[in-house]
Structure 1
Amino acid sequence: MIQVKKEGVVLSKTILPFENEGVLNPAVIKEGNFVHMFYRAVAEGNHSTIGYCKFDGPLTLFEIDRKPLLITEFDYECQGMEDPRIVKIEDLYYLTYTGFDGINALGCLAISKDLIHFEKKGVIVPQISFEEFDRLAEEETAINPKYFRYNEHTNSLEKDNNKYLVWDKNVIFFPRKINENFYFLHRIRPEVQIVVGVKDLKDLTEVFYQDYLRHFNDYVVLSSKFDHEISYVGGGCPPIETAQGWLLIYHGVKDGADGFIYAGCAALLDLENPQKEIARLPYPLFKPELDWELNGEVNNVCFPTGTALFEDTLYIYYGAADERIACASVSFSGLLNELILYKKEDDK
């Protein structure tokens, strides 16, 4: 079993109005010895913006802004910008986040050339009711019955003439194009899906997604498999390219006596065909154990969203109990060697 070191809390909420309720679930990108962090900052009323700070090395806070870097501007994000992730593809940074309008939570994109100025590109996932999603997704083959449990809802919202859409979160780009195309993960509960072979992001149209949903089962990458992820799985950190495959740190959720328990998990996807799972740890990489993971705004949460590699040590940044940001570290080569022991073709 691979050993993970809990490095502790690296960022906590402050008295500043934009982050006085919590800081969590950060996007992370390493450049040189610096780690840039774009984190979800929560104000009173559960209104989220994106704050910014920088670390010198993996753990030493070097610089932090006293106001949010990105704020809500449009209807689709009017209640908050949540849970960002970031990658660099060629000469552009792609920052994805969940836009929340008070009813719907949908994956959005902003791009930047300098990590300072960002251009918002809007919602990039399907905007669809559950009824329409179910009709399209089951047109050819039956889908996991848990989709109904996690995405159907009462009629209370329709009574107020509000439009309720399937929540589609955890949008995470692969950090390079594959065969000159964009690939990205996303999550409609309870599984992780992938969008593949997109030449231009302008091609993510309603027609594109209707065809995509008609073949929905073909694009499911990860499903619940082990006890610690039995309820559902979701995206975590941007995939890391290795000789063995794309290393994916994701989150797995188990419904316990005191509510859901969120753990960090690890898998490998095929380099040229990331729809194919190569290996997966049969146990959580790390889970809530310490007070600041067990107790907070939401108890029992380790929610990984970003990594930084320093020599052979992989630092994994995660939201702890939905209130603070912590870091865990693990041997990079050791984790890959451990994963290879659990190749999918070896499953019994």
Structure 2
Amino acid sequence: MRNYRLQRLSNQPILQTSDVKPTFSGFDVLGAFNPAACIFNNEILLLLRVAEAPKAEKGTILVPLIEDQNGVPTLTIKRFPEPDEPYDPRVITLQGKVYLTSLSHLRLARSRDGIHFTIDEKPFLFPARMDESFGIEDARITYLEGKYWITYTAVSENGPGVGLAVTTDFETVERVGMILPPPNKDVALFPQKINGKYTLLHRPMVSDIGKPSVWLANSIDGIHWGNHQFLFGGRGNPGLDRTNNPFSWEGGKIGTGPEPILTDEGWLVCYHGADETHAYALALALLDKDDPSIVLDRSETPLLTPELSWEKEGFFPNVVFSNGWIKWPDDSDKAGQIWVYYGAADSGVGLAELVWE
């Protein structure tokens, strides 16, 4: 694999939480981050994850979620007394049930130069089914067979699964439904059929045995998926001292980023790894062009780690996480450049260029 580097194009976020208007009166935007990315009609489109919550009330936990009201999924707000003991500001257990304290949706942002964006005021995809009752998160976009396939994490009290939506114009969208049940996430669809079949990468969750790892699956229709195969997992051991554990940066968690890009060496895959402190970093893997179940190479060290203040401090600190990149077309002044959009500390969006020697 070539000697790749991720080179920041800005030392400031290109999008911040404060740039996004809340969907509802009485709500605050807590984060705008982890965008999918594509090129459409000579524009760069980002599909941001936007997390919103009701404005805080002293002594009360407000939980936004979708509930079934007479057969209609409806946005509601549950109220609970604030616990006396410290609690996670994102996920909380109340009266024996686990809740998210914010509700995420997907919001479009548009740009001609890939740096300065105009953000839509309303959601592109908002939770609309009970298997999305806790929100929809972290989309990926793949252009395939004349359509833009959008995979995303659909979260409910039953866990995170993988939803699929399809659009041709980013105005109307067809919600296909859940294609991988909980617990699963981080799905990236390959941009062409391989050996006559649709192919994707996914990240099943694990419990007592094993660690999170990247898997491969294929399909004859893009909806029903099978032939699941383990592809690669984190090489670090969270229990070892870092000095004796060079892969500790991916020892705690691992997952796929954006859709793979085909190069003359094979399929280039961006993925994230997290250590035992939940600090996230970005790395690359290379898969065989004709048989992506063959891993040809992987990064020995991360290409991007949280270093700047806005990558280290935020709603969830010490995170760089990418699920969106674009390759500039040959007829542009940036022909062939690969730009990587990444979420930073669950609070904003950074931009880096993938360069190589």
Give TM class, smaller chain.
Answer: 0.7 to 0.9
Q: Distance in 2 between matches of 1:228 and 1:96?
A: 26
Q: Report the counterpart of residue 97 of structure 1 in structure 2.
A: 152
Preserved contact between residue 230 and residue 253 of structure 1 (Cα < 8 Å)? yes
Aligned with 1:234: secondary structure? strand
Question: Deviation at 1:235?
Answer: 0.8
Q: Report the counterpart of residue 259 of structure 2 in structure 1.
A: 238
Q: Report the counterpart of residue 123 of structure 1 in structure 2.
A: 178
Q: Distance in 2 between matches of 1:265 and 1:245?
A: 16
Question: Deviation at 1:312?
Answer: 3.9
Q: Distance in 2 between matches of 1:117 and 1:108?
A: 17
Instruction: Name the structure where strand makes up a greater proportion of residues.
Output: 2
Question: Deviation at 1:188?
Answer: 1.4
Q: Report the counterpart of residue 185 of structure 2 in structure 1.
A: 169
Aligned with 1:76: secondary structure? helix
Q: Report the counterpart of residue 288 of structure 1 in structure 2.
A: 306
Q: 2:205 matched to 1:195?
A: no
Give a deviation string over 1:94-130, Cα, whole Å, max 9, x none: 00000011341101100112122111111111x3xxx
Q: TM-score, normalising length from structure 1?
A: 0.76
Preserved contact between residue 99 and residue 108 of structure 1 (Cα < 8 Å)? yes
Q: Distance in 1 between matches of 2:185 and 2:33?
A: 16
Q: Report the counterpart of residue 65 of structure 2 in structure 1.
A: none
Q: Distance in 1 between matches of 2:48 and 2:223?
A: 27
Q: Distance in 2 between matches of 1:290 and 1:120?
A: 37
Preserved contact between residue 250 and residue 304 of structure 1 (Cα < 8 Å)? yes
Structure 2: gaps of 5 or more residues: 54-100, 206-211, 236-246, 329-334
Give a deviation string over 1:228-266, Cα, whole Å, max 9, x none: 2112210111100111101111101111xxx21100111
Preserved contact between residue 327 and residue 336 of structure 2 (Cα < 8 Å)? yes
Question: Deviation at 1:32?
Answer: 6.0
Preserved contact between residue 179 and residue 223 of structure 2 (Cα < 8 Å)? no
Give a deviation string over 1:294-331, Cα, whole Å, max 9, x none: 01111110001111123243211111001111111132
Q: Report the counterpart of residue 142 of structure 1 in structure 2.
A: none
Question: Deviation at 1:284?
Answer: 0.2
Preserved contact between residue 58 and residue 308 of structure 1 (Cα < 8 Å)? no
Q: Which residues of 2 match residues 1-348 of structure 1 at below 5 A?
A: 2-6=4-8, 7=10, 8-14=12-18, 16-18=21-23, 20-31=29-40, 33-44=42-53, 45-61=101-117, 63-125=118-180, 127=181, 166-189=182-205, 190-196=212-218, 198-204=219-225, 208=226, 212=227, 219-225=229-235, 226-255=247-276, 259-310=277-328, 311-331=335-355, 334=356, 337=357
Aligned residues: 278
Question: Deviation at 1:179?
Answer: 2.1
Q: Name the amino acid aligned to 1:27.
A: A
Q: Name the amino acid aligned to 2:109.
A: C
Structure 1: gaps of 5 or more residues: 128-165, 338-348
Give a deviation string over 1:134-188, Cα, whole Å, max 9, x none: xxxxxxxxxxxxxxxxxxxxxxxxxxxxxxxx52001110011112210011101
